[in-house]
Amino acid sequence: MKIICAPDSFKESMNASVVCQSMERGIRKVFPDAEIIHLPMSDGGEGLLSSLIKSTNGSMFSIMVMGPLREQVQASYGLLGDHETAVVEIAQACGLHLVPKALRNPFTTTSYGVGQLIKAALDLKPKRLIIGLGGSSTNDGGAGMLSALGVKFTDKNQHELRLGGGFLNQLASVDISKLDPRINDVELTIACDVMNPLTGSKGASVVYGPQKGADLLMVEILDKNLKHYASILKKTLKKEVDSIPGAGAAGGLGSAFIAVLNAQLSSGINTVLQLTQFETLLKGASLVLTGEGSLDEQTSYGKTIVGIAKKAKQHKVPVIVFAGKISGDLHPLYKSGVSSVFGIVPGVFSLEEALADGPKNMELAVENTMRLLHQIKKFK
């Protein structure tokens, strides 16, 4: 058997590489001689960097940047094996995992460190730059990132705007004359994991603000602030970004790439599948195992599992999905090419216990599934 393990990360429990290792342990207990390929996946959020560096035999670098709470954090970026493509994962600099739950406040968290990471990646003199959007703790529309790249945001008194989504209502003008010119010399690929607009009922603040620490009142204010931000970008740069799909990705970072950096947003999972040569690896494969922490209605829209399932379906390779939490209608997943879905939590546990036991639970769930497949093969 040739089995491809291509999971996404299980947030706050396991990164994609750990999931692959757990899957392999479960497989080996039943099929010890199977050919097992580890292919950690990402749809543009957390794990993009490690997935692409590992699959292309690239190089990883790290620097100290301003974190979301304005503290110094160590953040990584990379150069793919072609030595021409640099990769930045925004979660490295402003990820939700960098902010303890008690301190989560999208009024003040900033994406400034992302701009510092991009500058470091440009120092490598790449021809292409892939930037993964997803997993942010911010809601600042990318204003912090742009500030680090040389863009000046000022209020009506020409004072420089404070960092954080809570202050965007004071924005009066945007000056891009000092934008790092090197950004215009690279081919930008913005790998986006969601297609939300910037504002409104499906926008960055309403949909993702609560998980970043926003209460109902804060969500309302942040949404209005981003609406104002979009109006100033339109007035200053003649760019309409508010309703563009993906503009609300990563707390509105998508809008900054569209309006200021003239970038196009791309499907994160399709970008990863192409760069990891997933379709080539599918040739001769018996099975694909994938998964993510939570399956819900969002999973059917541009996420890792659907991207993998669609490609595997074209090659008639079955796909089995494992998840920590399952909710909503799964039929869109089955239509996309998923063969079956299994939860990995074996009983009633607290969230903390389930997250801590992720590797063990994954191994057991995969082992049980492999035992079922083994029996089916015996009956044939």
CATH number at residue 313: 3.40.50.10350
Nearest alpha carbon to residue 273 among 10, 44, 2, 20: 44
> Do 229 and 301 share a domain, yes or no?
no
Q: Which domain does 317 fall in, by range?
A: 2-41+277-379
Structure tokens at 255: 């809008």
pLDDT number for residue 264: 84
Residues 56, 178 within the same domain: yes
In the predicted model, residues of the chain with pLDDT beneath 50 are: none
Is there a single domain that holds both residue 12 and residue 119? no
Domain end among 245, 268, 291:
268
Q: How many C-beta atoms lie closer than 10 Å to residue 58's C-beta?
A: 18
Instruction: Please state the domain count of the chain.
Output: 2
- Which pLDDT score is estimated for 247? 95
Shared domain for 107 and 242, answered yes or no, is yes
Please name the helix (run of DSSP H) or strand (run of DSSP E) that holds residue 188, with its range, or none: strand 187-192
| Residue 335 and residue 253 in one domain | no
pLDDT value at position 140? 98
Whether 21 and 85 share a structural domain: no
Boundary-marking domain end, from 250, 268, 286: 268
Q: State residue 299's pLDDT score.
A: 62
Q: For residues 45 and 131, what is the distance between their CA atoms, to the nearest angstrom?
A: 10
Strands lying side by side in the sheet with 85-89: 59-66, 72-79, 85-89, 128-133, 187-192, 265-267
Q: What is the pLDDT of residue 202?
A: 94
Q: What is the pLDDT of residues 109-144, one digit of tens each?
A: 999 999 999 999 999 999 999 999 988 999 999 999
Per-position b or e across 282-305, b if 16+ CB within 10 A of its CB: beebebbbbbbbebeeebbebbbb
Contact 120/64 with Cβ under 8 angstroms? no
pLDDT at residue 296, as a whole number:
75
CA end-to-end span of the chain, whole Å? 16
User: Which one, of 368, 288, 277, 265, lies nearest residue 336 by Cα?
Assistant: 288
The DSSP letter of residue 286 is S
Judgement on whether residues 219 and 88 belong to the same structural domain of the protein: yes
Q: Are residues 323 and 211 in the same domain?
A: no
Using the structure block, give the residue that is written with the tokens 């009142």.
217
pTM above threshold 0.75: yes
Domain boundary among 244, 268, 292: 268
DSSP 58: -
Q: What is the pLDDT of residue 298?
A: 61
- CATH code at 224? 3.90.1510.10
Same domain, 124 and 215: yes
59-66 and 72-79 as β-strands: parallel, antiparallel, unpaired? antiparallel
